[in-house]
A and B are shown apart, each in its own frame.
Chain A
């Protein structure tokens, strides 16, 4: 098992390098002169040239890539001009908030989605199945940012059950119950689409498995139906559900951008949008690489989980 994890970690290196190359190339597409973009069109030519030299922009593309990569490996993601502080510090300050939001949302979506899918499959064409299928259809069609806004309107403004936005109350907050109260709406809004996708996939995976011969064997030996569904069938269906969980984790992680905007959540997503609007390319570049790298590591966790579940995978 240890060897397998190591192998997966090693195989992540080319993916991580690929990510840096892609991000670098995208940023190199910026039309015009980056220094002019930063300084604005009224900057003097001397200032532009100086900034270009300071940023190393006068060097060839390949050299610039390796300098950038080398700096990142030593923990230097550059300096954000709009915030006037190191990019990595800013990301680390904010990544926790994103991780809490996306993590809770992902767990919520996985549990609810799989459960809904299993019930739906076990009661195929029954009332529960129809109700779930219909709810899921609505869920995957609502834009998360619109859903978030409607939740604010209903639960925060009209019913006054939950705080409108933010991560902690400004006065007297800061403890776990406070965090949870602030988390309910954004985490739910973010989870809805992923829940729907996971439920759909779980339903079809379960239906596929329930047709298999080994399910008939389990029934033939007298295993109770609940155990057939929640044990034999779900265990086998998980093999095709887990990869989808990995993909959905990416959607939840990046979809948090919208939710962070709607709920004023102090995460990386909001930072990225602000940075894009302020044309703070260095901050965007660092943020994108950091989040993408985090996702790569999460996918390794998914692969390891898959290998624990399926003994047929050579570890």
Chain B
């Protein structure tokens, strides 16, 4: 609770709202004991006095009544009516919602049909109809406003209740022999109460506004009693000659509603777990680059050369070091595998290359990414955009979420082409068909007209690959492109990629957690753990003579077909959290060979030119 309040008041606007609303509420509560003039005492001689005139701080209205006094009494009435209406709507609406959600089935169906019917009305129209039937009057306006808000509560609370009604603790209560009423009151109600309170905080402002509106129309409070709405309604005829009589109540309504809105927004934000953790990513076209160390000099390795790359996520006060000094290069026609568990930083490393890490919270804090010698991290957006897809292309995992669901695949392919080449649609379409054929999609002409959801997973992945190939890139970064697919389709996709690299001299960085895939496609492989490369070497060597204990353990987790029954050795423990890394080897905590020396100081990659390992006591001697 205290944490919640602290969070709420860190939001300065919410604090302003709370202060303004608190002041107004206090004034409204104190009104009866304040030394005010009688709000209904008319004095026609003193009509339409300007504000700051003697004895009348805010002036007088068309009957010479003191405006300050009327304002405070009117505010009191408006607030009372609005809050009361909100309470009625919340009580009845929540009761209906809980009953519908708890009993479900036919009860639910009938009730929700009725609620939908009520929601088919334009909101204020329904309130007018109710007032028409009951007759003008403040009480009737209150009933009308409460009634039209009942469906809102019923629907919201029903949604929450349906989710709760299926949970174990409700079943347990039922098995314990509790009656329906008791379950609803003691088990369900406490759990939906916070939802009800939030819904009330967002609607009470509306209800104050709506009752004021009905009074403004002359359908609410009747003279001489006045709430803010009827004050405004009465002042309307003198708008031009004595505007202050309108402005005074109008500004008060505005202040009340705005302070409630500010506070309501603050409450909602403070309760939103995503906002609370600060984990919401923000939409930037390029990852933020903020290099704290000097940029490494170009060395002549590879077509794409990643040098000591550091990528971090800055979430609130915490820093997650997702990629910690990774160096990796790839030559034309070469396929390099990057292997590691989920969270090892391999995808973040791949996305950093073209500035595609969601940012903020992502920040590239060090290193360089060189394409043909040029540092992409210091490139302008325009030049980076021109290289995206044209020179370095990506294939992503799970093509159902990576293809746009509302565009035909043909249009998405053509767009990839036309983003880099100004060609007429017909040319782009012909090229798109050619691409689909290249990735062996049968009936390519018709497939162009499909939406992603109309295709199978394998077909969609082929579209993803075709899109990556659209501009004949030199480098393809494939981020687990086969993980979402079944094994036969996976094999087809892999052989397709293998063919493409042999035919076109593509350089491929292939990110996976599957050694089988690496063995099939890659010339070289790098093993990542906790944001670092722990071992790198030719695929053959790594598979047969893994030098890092982690690599060895990782391969022991893979079941072998025809290998007979054997115990699969899971690695004990969890990968370390990259916001709080221990000194020394990050794998030490899970390694059965770890010694005190492993837990002090950085351990460098060492070994031969082709095979390197980050371990002081490797499994294989690399000399």
Q: Which A residues fall within an 8 A CB radius of B?
A: 15, 18-19, 22-23, 26-27, 29-31, 121-122, 124-125, 137-138, 140-143, 145-146, 149-150, 152-153, 157, 206-207, 210-225, 227-229, 232-233, 235-236, 239, 250-251, 253-255, 257-258, 261-262, 272-273, 275-277, 279, 281, 284-285, 288, 291-292, 295-296, 299, 309-312
Instruction: Verify A137–B258 contact, CB threshold 8 A.
Output: yes
Q: Which B residues fall within an 8 A CB radius of A?
A: 13, 113, 116-118, 120-126, 128-136, 205, 209, 212-213, 216-219, 232, 236, 239-240, 243, 246-247, 250, 253-254, 257-258, 261-262, 265, 280-283, 285, 351, 354, 356, 358, 381, 385-390, 393-394, 396, 398, 401-407, 415-416, 419-420, 451, 453, 464, 467-468, 470-471
Knowing A19-B121, A29-B134, A221-B470, the reply to whether A272 touches B393 (Cβ < 8 A) is: no
Knowing A15-B120, A220-B393, A275-B132, the reply to whether A258 touches B219 (Cβ < 8 A) is: no
Specify which of B124, B219, B258 is in contact with A138 (CB 8 Å cutoff). B258
Contacts of A281 in B (CB 8 A): 132-133
Interface of B is mostly: helix
Contacts of B396 in A (CB 8 A): 213, 216-217, 220
Specify which of B236, B253, B358, B404 is in contact with A214 (CB 8 Å cutoff). B404
For residue A275, which residue of chain B has the nearest CB? B132
- Cα A276 to Cα B239 in complex, Å, equals 24
- Cα A257 to Cα B471 in complex, Å, equals 58
Contacts of B126 in A (CB 8 A): 22, 288
Q: Could you list 6 A-B pairs, sorted by A, with CB under 8 Å?
A: A217-B467, A254-B122, A254-B128, A255-B124, A288-B125, A288-B126
Instruction: Verify B402–A214 contact, CB threshold 8 A.
Output: yes
- Cα A213 to Cα B464 in complex, Å, equals 13
Contacts of A153 in B (CB 8 A): 239-240, 243, 246
Instruction: Verify A221–B416 contact, CB threshold 8 A.
Output: yes
- Cα A203 to Cα B128 in complex, Å, equals 32
Instruction: Verify B258–A292 contact, CB threshold 8 A.
Output: no
Contacts of A124 in B (CB 8 A): 282-283
Contacts of A15 in B (CB 8 A): 116-117, 120
Knowing A15-B117, A239-B406, A288-B125, the reply to whether A146 touches B232 (Cβ < 8 A) is: yes
Knowing A207-B283, A277-B218, the reply to whether A291 touches B125 (Cβ < 8 A) is: yes
Contacts of B385 in A (CB 8 A): 222, 224-225
Instruction: Verify A157–B133 contact, CB threshold 8 A.
Output: no
Interface of A is mostly: helix
Contacts of B122 in A (CB 8 A): 250-251, 253-254, 291-292, 295
Known: A19-B120, A220-B393. 4 other contacts (CB 8 A): A138-B258, A146-B253, A220-B356, A221-B467
Instruction: Verify B253–A30 contact, CB threshold 8 A.
Output: no
- Cα A142 to Cα B250 in complex, Å, equals 8
Instruction: Verify B132–A217 contact, CB threshold 8 A.
Output: no
Instruction: Verify B388–A219 contact, CB threshold 8 A.
Output: yes
Knowing A29-B133, A210-B283, the reply to whether A222 touches B406 (Cβ < 8 A) is: no
Instruction: Verify B239–A277 contact, CB threshold 8 A.
Output: no
For residue B118, which residue of chain A has the nearest CB? A22
Instruction: Verify B254–A141 contact, CB threshold 8 A.
Output: yes
For residue B120, which residue of chain A has the nearest CB? A15
Instruction: Verify A221–B393 contact, CB threshold 8 A.
Output: yes
Instruction: Verify B405–A214 contact, CB threshold 8 A.
Output: yes
- Min distance, Cβ B139 to any Cβ of chain A, angstroms: 12
Instruction: Verify A143–B130 contact, CB threshold 8 A.
Output: no
Interface pairs A-B: 5 shortest CB-CB: A141-B258, A254-B122, A146-B250, A222-B389, A210-B283
- Cα A145 to Cα B228 in complex, Å, equals 12
For residue A29, which residue of chain B has the nearest CB? B133
Interface centre among B122, B239, B351 (most CB of A within 10 A): B122
Instruction: Verify B405–A295 contact, CB threshold 8 A.
Output: no
Specify which of B121, B212, B217, B389 is in contact with A261 (CB 8 Å cutoff). B217
Knowing A149-B236, A225-B381, A292-B125, the reply to whether A143 touches B254 (Cβ < 8 A) is: yes
Contacts of B470 in A (CB 8 A): 221
Instruction: Verify B285–A225 contact, CB threshold 8 A.
Output: yes
Specify which of A22, A31, A254 is in contact with B123 (CB 8 Å cutoff). A254
Instruction: Verify B128–A257 contact, CB threshold 8 A.
Output: yes
Knowing A31-B134, A312-B453, the reply to whether A143 touches B125 (Cβ < 8 A) is: no
